[in-house]
Amino acid sequence: MSTSSRYRAPFADSGPTPIDQAIATRLLSLALSKGGDYADLFFEYHAGGSYSLDEGILKAAGRSVTMGLGVRVMKGDATGYAYVQDLTPEAMAGAARTAAQIADGGGSVDPIAFEAAEVPSRYQSADLTLDAPGQDKRELLLRADRAARDEDPRVIRVEASLNEEVREILIASSDGRFVRDRQPLMRFGVRVIAQDGKRRQSGNSGGGGRLSLDYFSELSPEWHASEAVRHAIIMLDACESPAGEMEVVLAPGDSGILLHEAVGHGLEADFNRKGTSNYTDCIGRPVASELCTVVDDATLAGSRGSINVDDEGHAPESALLIDKGVLVGYMHDRHSARHFETRPSGNGRRESFQAHPMPRMTNTLLLPGPHDPEEVLRSVKRGVYARKFGGGQVDISNGNFVFSLTEGYLIEDGKLTSPLKGVNLIGNGPDVMRKVTMAGNDMQTSDGIWTCGKEGQSVPVGVGCPTVKISGMTVGGTQAG
């Protein structure tokens, strides 16, 4: 790790007020002083930067620095949680005492033996975008603006943004984990509005990940600008979408967000521990078409959803969730893993020190299938091709989900014809997974744009999938029939 960065946690080894194992032991003992079974400490330092371009100029730049400690104490299935922003010894002890209250007995605490943890290196955090000169980032935005305006005279507005952060964490637990990680993240986005006569439409493009500014030597600001303009111009000619049940083909890459909602959330083990998911007690059973193999893979280099350790200090790998249609595993945090008597899968994540961890996805992928993507498209007489997604949502209890498309096309006789506006896809997770009748050999992962929300907590995630055909799904449009 580089030490030249301006953005280092004060509690880092080299920081002004390092947190060492002796301090952690004292706080954990306090946390368990009322008889809790387990306690952990989550120290977090977060520095963020934002640059936004509008009307051809860098209109505003922002920066934030926050830090704090979250103390969690568990007694059976009950959790006590307290956090402080002030990392003085008194304030930290106060949080430990507050969280301890979830248990109401007393007790002595065995000495904690911390184990040395091997932390993998799935992103390089030495070369932070935060440390790069502001002028360089301003220039990236200005380049996108110029490129978008040069691309087409119908472009009337260009907005571009760059958001960056570094999150430095330290986890210490009463069962012996003491782990540090430093997680960089960057996201770039361009949005344009194009106008032709009275018609006005927007288009966008974005990407990023746990990466340095080297990202832009592969996908330049000009590339994103051109993609956003293409999107907006195509949408100028979009027609009202048909409504009703029809065949749907998902484009590779970002369409993985549908999988994230349709099946991913239902496989987070907290819902299954509580018996409130559609997938409760389904391990070993077929839950999807044989073409579906789904993994949650935290190891992808530099991906937005990748992590070296989760927010409970466990190292995630690539977890097989569905194997050729059969459910083989859930995503676990420590709590659900204990319930199911299995190993935590490293999916315990949280938004910040102000929130307790839950099972969350990292990069959720549907692996490639046998079909040529052209062949998939040719097989559809009339249907919808989903190219770009806005957002989606799922009701875990019954698996019903909804997605809105920002770019979709009508498929007629195996060919893409008219672009469609106002398309929503609605379906039921288990039902749609069984209706996957073709899967392409062209698997792609999304560029880093997705953020997942659960119980009010947002975490960055990755998704991926090949071209996929779903034999029937409800398309919500305005044109009945």
Partner 1 sequence: MSDYNIDELIALGQRIIEQAKKAGVDVAEAVVSEGAHLSAKVRLGEPELVEEAGSRSVGLRVMCGQQVAVTYTSDLSDAGLTRFIEDALELARLSQPDAFAGPPDQDLLSVRQDHPDLDLFDSEVNAIDAKRALEMAKLAERAALKSDKRLVNSEGATVSRQSGASALVTSGGFAGGNFGTYASIYVNPVADDTDGKKRSGSYWSARRHLSELEDPEAVGVEAARRTLAKLGARKLATQQVPVIFDPDAGRSMLSLLAGCITGGAVWRKASYLADREGSTIASELVTVVDDPLLPRGPGSRPFDGEGLLSRRHVVVDRGQLKTFLLDSYSARKLGRASTANASRGSGGGVSASTTNFVLQAGDVDPEALISSTDRALYVTNMMGYGFTGITGDFSRGASGFWIEGGERAFPVEEVTISENLDQILKGIDRIANDEDLRTSTCTPTFRVSRMTVAGG
83-142 binders of partner 1 (CB under 8 A): 83-85, 95, 98, 101-102, 134-135, 138
Within 286-345, the residues that bind partner 1 by CB under 8 A are none
The first and second tokens of residue 255, run together, are 């369409």
- Determine the longest span between alpha carbons in the chain, in angstroms: 76
- Our finding on whether 278 is near partner 1 (CB under 8 A) is yes
Q: 36 or 373, CB closer to partner 1?
A: 36
Span near partner 1 by CB under 8 A; candidates 55-63, 117-125, 308-316, 444-452? 55-63
**DSSP secondary structure string for all residues of 421-466:** ES-EEEEEHHHHHHTEEEEBS--EEPPS--EEEETTEEEE-EEEE-
The first and second tokens of residue 434, run together, are 């069984």
Span near partner 1 by CB under 8 A; candidates 195-203, 302-310, 315-323, 433-441? 195-203
Of the chain, the end-to-end C-alpha distance in Å amounts to 60
Contacting residue, 404, 441, 457, 471, with partner 1 by CB under 8 A: 404
Whole-angstrom distance, CA of residue 412 vs CA of residue 248: 12
Looking at residue 130, its amino acid is L
Least distance from C-beta 141 to partner 1, angstroms?
Answer: 10
From the number of C-beta atoms within 10 Å of its C-beta (0-12, 13-18, 19+), residue 432 rates as buried
Least distance from C-beta 461 to partner 1, angstroms?
Answer: 17
The 60-79 site mask, x for binding partner 1 (CB under 8 A), equals xxxxxxxxx-------xxxx
The first and second tokens of residue 407, run together, are 């770019």
Span near partner 1 by CB under 8 A; candidates 170-178, 292-300, 402-410, 438-446? 402-410
**DSSP secondary structure string for all residues of 144-162:** HHHHHHHH-TTEEEEEEEE
Q: Where is 377: in which H helix or E strand?
A: helix 373-378
Q: 64 or 417, CB closer to partner 1?
A: 64
- Our finding on whether 161 is near partner 1 (CB under 8 A) is no
Least distance from C-beta 232 to partner 1, angstroms?
Answer: 10
- Our finding on whether 354 is near partner 1 (CB under 8 A) is yes
Q: 359 or 368, CB closer to partner 1?
A: 359
Contacting residue, 81, 215, 216, 450, with partner 1 by CB under 8 A: 81
The 415-454 site mask, x for binding partner 1 (CB under 8 A), equals ------xxxx-xxx--------------------------
- Our finding on whether 239 is near partner 1 (CB under 8 A) is no
Q: Which of these, 164, 182, 186, 168, lies nearest to 62 by C-alpha position?
A: 164
Whole-angstrom distance, CA of residue 73 vs CA of residue 220: 47
